[in-house]
Amino acid sequence: MAQTHILGYPRIGARRELKRAQEAYWKGEIDQQALLAVGSQVRSKNWQAQQAAGLALTTVGDFAWYDQVLNHSLMFGAIPERFAEGSADNKLDQYFRLARGRAPSGEPVAASAMTKWFDTNYHYLVPEFTADQQFGLDPEWLLAEVLEAQSLGHNVKPVIIGPLTYLWLGRGVDNSLELLPRLLPRYVELLKQLASAAAQWVQIDEPILGLDLPDNWREAFAPTYATLAKASGSKLLLATYFSPLRENLELAFALPVDGVHIDAVRAPEEVAPALAALNKNQVLSVGVINGRNVWRTDLARWQQELLHIAESLGDRLWLSVSCSLLHTPVDLETETALVEEDKQKLAYSRQKLDELHTLQQALKPGAQTLPVVEKTQSRTEAEVREELASTWRAQKYPERAEVQRARWQLPLLPTTTIGSFPQTDVLREVRHQFRAQEISQQDYDAHLRAEIAEAIRRQEILGLDVLVHGEAERNDMVEYFGEQLDGFIHTGNGWVQSYGSRCVKPPIIAGDISRPTAMTVQWSEYAQSLSKKPVKGMLTGPVTILNWSFPREDIPRALSCLQIAKALRQEVQDLEAAGIGIIQIDEPALREGVPLRESGRKDYFDWAVGCFRYTCSQVQPETQIHTHMCYSNFNAIMDAIVALDADVITIESARSDLRLLQVFAGEGGSYPNEIGPGIYDIHSPNVPERKELVSRLYQLLEVIPQEKLWINPDCGLKTRSWAEVGSALLNMVEATRTVRAEL
């Protein structure tokens, strides 16, 4: 009979218990004992859920106080020197200092860098290596958890990140693969200790096998796994996910491992080749339940596809989730915000365990055929791309720039901001009261108008050139639009870990998207009525709305994106008709949807960029379209950025090396339109000094022609206080005036 297991489970707790405990501990409200107790409860519930669903193995080692990659850095002693202090007496605080720069004990220090885990919205802490990096082994936390689970009666399968993926993720040396000879003996020792702890199976994650790997990395797999397999007293399950294996498929199965896991959601076409490559002693683990989405699985389809395979492989067929369930919410039973009809269609992590069980039973000889779910006929991605082929504005940028200049008469180096202004406690409280129906819509709107009026008043006094209304009506840049558009549903407890104690609650795209009424026009119009200066309209772009939501699985993502783009285009047209002549369409998540494999990227950019252009393809030439992105490393996606064809782009750059900007102003002017490289970092409470800003402006003028340069902070200001924002913007405006006078 086929066996069931998972690659990992969410660790935040069904009611975000861990988040609350972590934050309380950091604030000094609870002690370490209390925090440890919460962690232990979360783990035992997770294990219990797996056992209750009849899983053959209980996965252990997926828990982390902050991040699983950081767990490995500590386990292998890859701890940068600045974190050494005070570690002997308080390991957990050292861990938190590595993660976030501070902990209840010890001195604050610069935290480790954080970056996205493959193509997910989960962020891991980047290992920092040095050329003379030495590794150690301190597997105490993992062994303790193995024991803890065993004492609760579980058949434990520890999970670790494989040595090649771990090295790949690190930074600080030119070629981290050179560190392998020093790291590998530690892995050997670790496997020995896990075997002594009676782990029959160990899961080793090597998701980099789904990337376009350089040859030297590919070639490192065989010798590395020969060494590990020889030393290991446990059986090894090599786990891959997020991407097709393709040229690495045979390589993966040829390794001396006892089983291989493939992501059959992302690469259903690889089940057959995997089967062909499987040797007669190996287990094939197929990830058929989507670990990245919330929809119930079409189990009937998998029953059909796997029936014969189950027959021939018997218990060498393992049924699993596509990747760790870290990326899905915990338990649908805790969900109170959804109607029953919607709930029926969804499965969170706990329900996915049950799906595994159902599928397992359905693959038994003589089992009943599962009911087939009807499929909707949908347009293909290729058709969507075709529709998006001609979305360019009628006039090219140079012509538009001319009419825009004539219309707006802005000074050289125009100053602006990215959209949001401080979300004050009062504003939060009022929003809360409105949601709890304690105040009326009228009172709420009146309050929002007062916030907007205040934001406009302050911007007028500061002397900014292009104003914003401040986004007081939005709690979140995606949720706000999701709530106004038809086709989305919003969960009450659909939290997913983003990093550390931070969780996000993505809306779910559940149907065709359309716009019943205008979403932002009244606020922009009101703001514009208060000032003679232009007020920018402010929208979240279609790609960002898509990438920060749970998408449908019954139609291509491109089609949902196009539907959102159509709704946004109506909004853009309405804003323009209402006299809003500068409109910003934010796309901070454009980069997130980029396929891990180069081969999928052109298609993605074709539809993603096409959808963005679609939103503004019908505006008048004198209407100025802005966009904003919260990063500055555009090297890989420069062509796409240019193809957005926005008149102005504002980007984050305050924290990054100015050299990155060369990309925008490189020889031949690789970025043709106007650009506002954020001139100060809004993530820090520090107020930038005028002098600093003046010299920064001069630096920028060296790489960007003055008629193309905009002056702005590097992101929205909603997390800052008005006191900080007021002084910082005043300095920004003053510095700009100083430089203007000298040009």
Give the footprint of Zn ion on this chain (CB under 5 A): 630, 715
Residue 633 marked ligand-binding: no
Cα(178)–Cα(167) distance, rounded to whole angstroms?
9
Instruction: Report the C-alpha gap between 421 and 362 in whole angstroms.
Output: 55
Q: Measured between alpha carbons, how far is residue 660 from residues 590, 651, 656, 700 in Å?
A: 19, 11, 7, 11
Structural contact between residues 202 and 191, judged by C-beta atoms closer than 8 angstroms? yes
Nearer to Zn ion, 583 or 715 (CB): 715
Which is nearer to ligand GLN, 26 or 481 (by Cβ)? Answer: 481
Question: Which of 70, 489, 545, 630 is close enough to bind ligand GLN by CB under 6 A?
Answer: 630
Structure-token match 């915990």, residue found: 330
Contacts of 86 (CB under 8 A, 6+ apart): 93, 94, 105, 106, 107
Nearest approach, Cβ of 632 to ligand GLN (angstroms)?
Answer: 12
Only segment of 51-59, 230-238, 414-422, 434-442 that touches ligand GLN (CB under 6 A): 414-422
Phi/psi at 639 (5° precision): -60, -40
Residue closer to ligand GLN (CB basis): 325 or 539: 539
Question: In sequence order, what are the beta bridge partners of 535?
Answer: 467
Long-range Cβ pairs for the range 136-139 (8 Å, 24+)? 136/76, 136/77, 136/186, 137/75, 137/76, 137/77, 137/186, 137/189, 137/190, 138/74, 138/75, 138/76, 138/77, 139/75, 139/190, 139/193, 139/194
Q: Using CB atoms within 10 Å of the CB of residue 718, give its burial: 0 to 12 exposed, 13 to 18 middle, 19+ buried.
A: buried
Q: Is 586 in the site for ligand GLN (CB under 6 A)?
A: yes
Q: Which does 679 bind (CB under 5 to 8 A by kind): Zn ion, ligand GLN, none?
A: none
Among 11, 186, 569, 718, binds ligand GLN (CB under 6 A): 718
Distance of CA 42 to the CA centre of its chain: 24
For residues 6 and 59, what is the distance between their CA atoms, to the nearest angstrom?
A: 7
Q: Which of 327, 432, 469, 683 is catalytic?
A: 683
Min dist. Cβ of residue 205 to Zn ion (A): 31
Determine whether the annotation assigns residue 503 to a binding site.
Answer: yes
Dist. CA 288–CA 262, nearest whole Å? 9
Does residue 592 have a known ligand-binding role?
yes
CB of 716 to ligand GLN, least distance (A): 2
Confirm if 122 and 116 have CB atoms less than 8 A apart: yes
Number of residues binding to ligand GLN, judged by CB under 6 A: 13
> Does 556 contact ligand GLN by CB under 6 A?
no
Q: Which of 213, 538, 545, 585 binds ligand GLN (CB under 6 A)?
A: 538
Using CB under 6 A as the binding rule, whether residue 582 contacts ligand GLN is answered as no
Q: What is the smallest separation between the CB atom of 374 and Zn ion, expressed in angstroms?
A: 42
DSSP 589-608: TGGGG--SSGGGHHHHHHHH
**628 binds ligand GLN per the rule CB under 6 A:** yes
Please report, for residues 59, 69, 79, 102, 324, the alpha-carbon distance to residue 19 in angstroms, rounded to integers and kept in the order given.
21, 18, 24, 17, 19
For the question of residue 683 being annotated catalytic, the response is yes
**What is the residue-wise DSSP string for 608-626?**
HHHHHHHHTTTS-TTSEEE
The response to whether 536 counts as a known ligand-binding position is no
Nearer to Zn ion, 430 or 630 (CB): 630
* Annotated binding residue 97: no
Q: Looking at beta carbons, which pairs linking 21-27 to residues 24 or more positions away fall under 8 Å?
A: 22/65, 22/66, 22/500, 22/501, 23/501, 25/104, 26/96, 26/100, 26/102, 26/103, 26/104
53 or 715, CB closer to ligand GLN? 715
State which of residues 715, 732, 733, 735 lies at the interface with ligand GLN (CB under 6 A).
Answer: 715
Cβ neighbour number for residue 71 with a 10 Å cutoff: 22
Pick 73 or 416: Cβ nearer ligand GLN: 416
487 binds ligand GLN (CB under 6 A): no
Three-state SS at 504: strand
610 binds, among ligand GLN, Zn ion, none (CB under 5 to 8 A by kind): none
Q: Which is nearer to ligand GLN, 263 or 451 (CB)?
A: 451
Report the helix count and the strand count for the chain, using DSSP H and E.
26, 20
Residue 712 and residue 679 in contact, taking contact as beta carbons nearer than 8 Å? yes
Show the tokens assigned to 207: 């998701």
Q: How far is the CB of 630 from Zn ion (least distance, A)?
A: 3
DSSP character at residue 531: -
CB 485 within 8 A of CB 542: no
Please tell me whether 17 is known to bind a ligand. yes
Instruction: Dump the DSSP string for 339-391.
Output: -HHHHTTB--HHHHHHHHHHHHHHTSTTPPPPPPPPPPP---HHHHHHHTSS-
Shortest spacing between CB 660 and ligand GLN, in angstroms: 18
Residue 443: CB minimum distance to Zn ion, A: 31
Q: Interacting stretch for ligand GLN, rule CB under 6 A, among 29-37, 386-394, 416-424, 735-743?
A: 416-424
Smallest gap from Cβ 423 to ligand GLN, in A, equals 9
420 known member of a binding site: yes
179 binds ligand GLN (CB under 6 A): no
Using the rule CB under 6 A, which residue among 4, 290, 420, 493 binds ligand GLN? 420
Binding to ligand GLN (CB under 6 A): which residues in 201-220?
A: none
Question: Residue 418, annotated ligand binder?
Answer: yes
Q: Does 418 bind ligand GLN (CB under 6 A)?
A: yes
Between 542 and 716, CB nearer to ligand GLN: 716
Q: Alpha carbon of 479 to those of 50, 203, 475, 527, 631: distances in Å? A: 32, 37, 8, 22, 21
Q: Which stretch binds ligand GLN (CB under 6 A): 66-74, 393-401, 418-426, 592-600?
A: 418-426
Is 616 annotated among the ligand-binding residues? no
- Smallest gap from Cβ 129 to Zn ion, in A, equals 30
**Residues 263 and 238 sit within 8 Å (Cβ to Cβ):** no
Q: Residue 505 to residues 235, 489, 496, 589: CA-CA distances in angstroms? A: 37, 11, 6, 16
| Binding-site member from 139, 534, 676, 716 for ligand GLN (CB under 6 A) | 716
Q: Find the shortest distance in angstroms from Cβ 78 to ligand GLN.
A: 31
From the list 92-100, 417-425, 517-525, 673-681, the region that binds ligand GLN by CB under 6 A is 417-425
Residues 192, 231: contact at Cβ < 8 Å?
yes
In the complex with ligand GLN, which residue's Cβ is closer, 320 or 712? 712
Query: Would you say 419 is a known binding-site residue?
Result: yes
Residue 283 interacting with ligand GLN (CB under 6 A): no
718 touches which of Zn ion, ligand GLN, none (CB within 5 to 8 A by kind)? Answer: ligand GLN
Residue nearest to ligand GLN (CB): 716
Annotated binding-site residues read 16-19, 116, 121, 418-420, 471, 502-503, 548, 586, 592, 628, 630, 652, 715
Annotated binding-site residues for L-methionine read 418-420, 471, 586
Query: Contact positions toward ligand GLN, by CB under 6 A?
Result: 418-420, 471, 477, 538, 586, 588, 628, 630, 715-716, 718
Catalytic residues: 683
Annotated binding-site residues for 5-methyltetrahydropteroyltri-L-glutamate read 16-19, 116, 121, 502-503, 548, 592
